[in-house]
Chain A
Amino acid sequence: MSLLDLRLRSGYLFLALMFGHVILISAQVNSRRGVPVLESVTFGVFSEVQRGTSSGVSVFRRIWNGYFGLRGAHLENERLKAQLADTLVELQQQRAQADKTRGLERLLELRDRANLRTTAAEIIASGASPEFRTISIDKGQRDGVARDMAVIAPAGVVGRVVTPGGRNAKVQLLIDRNAAAGALIERSRAQGVAVGTGEAHLRLDYVSEVADVVVGDVVVSSGIDGIYPKGFVIGKVTTVEKSGGAYRSIAIAPAVDFSSLEHVLVVLTPTPLQEAEAAGDGATETSQ
């Protein structure tokens, strides 16, 4: 036993001395990178310890964040969902506002271009009866809107005011079966009357059989009806057929997409006919 103990002790002593020698040598020798071997080995050993410690800490953090840290995740999730919903609503509002602004910009541009006194109006409702193609706008007599005033949009002619109210008005669309407007072919200046059909298209009546009209011609208002100002686009010719009589049968695709209208301009500037009528009324009243 004592011999074994002695051997063990000498073994330990041997190992200790060897270790001491290695350290002593390492302290004097530089590695290939110019760093003392002792420093390099020490750093290498401790860096491994640090790496192991770091890995352990990372694993612990992952476990903690992945499991224990999820205690508050549900509440945070709910809060974020609510925040997201609010943001989406706000986004939609912003988008709607942007659309509205773009529409108003187009109207403003049209107003400047037309050099007419107009008032912008928002469409607040469409007609209740499918037999009559009408819309309601949010401007009425208080805003200077009167019967038979033209209603236009950036794309072209929309219709006319048929029933002005105090703060709103009913507008008969040009596609209504009872609507009509003086029209002419922009290219050839051939005249006719654009008539609503109650459908999505218009009809151009009273165009001479010999008039120069082809598919694709642009049809604009002629102004002779005393309602619509001259030169506003009504639509494009889609079909031209011979009816066998003195006039051609012509179909027009409206320039305005009535299904997507949101804002319009009501033309407050009276046409010469309206002015004449007004003057006539005034003369009558004066004579009376």
Chain B
Amino acid sequence: MKVVGLVLATALALAIQTAIGRFLGNTIGVDLILVVVVYAALSSGPVTGLILGTIAGIAQDATSTGNIIGVGGLAKTVVGFLAGVVGTQFIVAHPLPRFVAFFAASLLHGALFLGTYVVLGMRDVGAPFARLAVQGLGNAVIGLLVFKIAESLPGAEDSRMRR
């Protein structure tokens, strides 16, 4: 049930992301798929994080124009795995740690994503630090909202207690 929920959430994020991107272009500073992956990793562990990161990343690459399929998947797999490890090793039940986790995951994702392209010599990324920081802030805020929404759903408390 949880897996289905995560898959649906990813699909929804992908749909929203593409819809937003369609209307607003590249000005949007958030990555909703990354938010879902990090959320899943923090709440369900590294295995879930890396599997969902792989699937979501490849799906995102496949639906993006000009992307090499696998680069986003690689970045999200790493981020999902590490976020899952962090989620199992540290207490991230409060907003601040979650914010930091989302922000750090966004920075890491951006570094991996852009770094891979740089290594392959296929993209001149310029100085992406400000853009990455803005995206990290956006992702962190949305991540906190996702946590808030998820915890407000019926049965969320029981599920957390079981974990």
- A1-42, CB < 8 A from B: 6, 9-10, 13-14, 17-18, 20-22, 24-25, 28-29, 32, 37
Other-chain contact of A24, B46, B69, B78, B122 (Cβ < 8 Å)? B69
Given the known interface contacts A18-B77, A18-B78, the answer about A28 and B50 at a Cβ–Cβ threshold of 8 Å is no
Question: How near does chain B come to A276, taking the closest CB pair, in angstroms?
Answer: 115
Question: Is the beta-carbon distance between A24 and B73 smaller than 8 angstroms?
Answer: yes
Cβ-defined contact, B121 with A17, below 8 A = no
Q: How many A-B residue pairs have CB under 8 A?
A: 49
| Neighbour of A13 across the interface among B47, B68, B78, B121, CB < 8 A | B47
Which residues, 68 to 126 on B, are CB-close (under 8 Å) to A? 68-71, 73-74, 77-78, 81, 84, 116, 120-122
A14 to B69, CA, bound (A): 18
* A10-B71 contact in complex given A17-B50, A21-B54, C-beta closer than 8 Å: no
**Number of chain A residues close to chain B: CB under 8 A:** 16
Write out the residue numbers on chain B whose beta carbons fall within 8 Å of the beta carbon of A29: 68, 120, 122
Interchain nearest-CB distance for A23 vs B (Å): 8
Q: In the complex, what residues of A have CB within 8 A of residue B46's CB?
A: 10, 14
User: In the complex, how many residues of chain B place their beta carbon closer than 8 angstroms to a beta carbon of chain A?
Assistant: 21
Question: What secondary structure prevails in chain B residues at the interface with A?
Answer: helix
In contact, A13 and B50 (Cβ under 8 angstroms)? yes
- Taken together as a complex, chains A and B put the C-alpha atoms of A28 and B77 apart, in Å, by 19
Instruction: Give the shortest distance, in Å, between B121 (CB) and chain A (any CB).
Output: 7
Q: Which A residues are in CB contact (< 8 Å) with B50?
A: 10, 13-14, 17
Are B81 and A28 neighbours in the complex by a CB distance under 8 Å? Answer: no
B77 neighbours in A (Cβ, 8 Å): 14, 17-18, 21
Closest residue on chain A to residue B84 by CB atoms: A10
B81 with A25: CB separation less than 8 A: no
CB <8 Å contact, A17 and B122? no
Residues in B whose Cβ lies below 8 Å from that of A17: 50-51, 54, 77
Bitwise interface map of A from 73 to 97 toward B, beta carbon under 8 Å scored 1, else 0: 0000000000000000000000000
* Residue pair A18, B74 in contact (C-beta under 8 Å): yes
Q: Which B residues are CB-close (under 8 A) to A6?
A: 47
Pairwise interchain contact A25-B116, C-beta atoms closer than 8 A: yes
Residues of A within 8 A of B121 (CB): 32
Report the Cα distance A10→B84, complex, angstroms: 10
- B45, B51, B54, B70: the one contacting A25 at CB < 8 Å is B70
CB distance from B8 to the nearest CB of A (A): 22
What residues of chain A lie closer than 8 Å to B120, measured between beta carbons?
25, 29, 37
Asked if A25 contacts B74 (CB within 8 A), the reply is: yes
Q: Which residues of A contact B51 (CB under 8 A)?
A: 13, 17
Interface contact A21-B47, CB-CB below 8 Å: no
- Expressed in whole angstroms, the minimum distance between the Cβ of B23 and any Cβ of chain A is 29
Q: For the complex, what is the distance from the CA of A14 to the CA of B46, rounded to whole Å?
A: 9
| Across-interface contacts of B54 in A (CB, < 8 A) | 17, 20-21
Question: Shortest beta-carbon distance, B13 to chain A, in Å?
Answer: 20
In the complex, the answer to whether B47 meets A24 with C-beta atoms within 8 Å is no
How far is B88's CA from A10's CA once the two chains are assembled, in angstroms?
13
Query: What's the Cα separation between A6 and B84 when bound, in Å?
Result: 13
Whether A28 contacts B68 by the Cβ 8 Å rule is yes
Give the residues in chain B near A9, CB-CB below 8 Å: 47
7 contacts between A and B (CB under 8 A): A9-B47, A10-B46, A14-B81, A18-B78, A25-B68, A29-B68, A29-B122
8 interchain residue pairs of minimum CB distance: A24-B70, A21-B74, A25-B70, A10-B46, A10-B47, A21-B70, A14-B81, A28-B68
Q: With A22-B70, A24-B58 given, can you name 6 additional A-B contacts, CB distance below 8 Å?
A: A10-B47, A13-B50, A13-B51, A22-B74, A24-B70, A25-B70
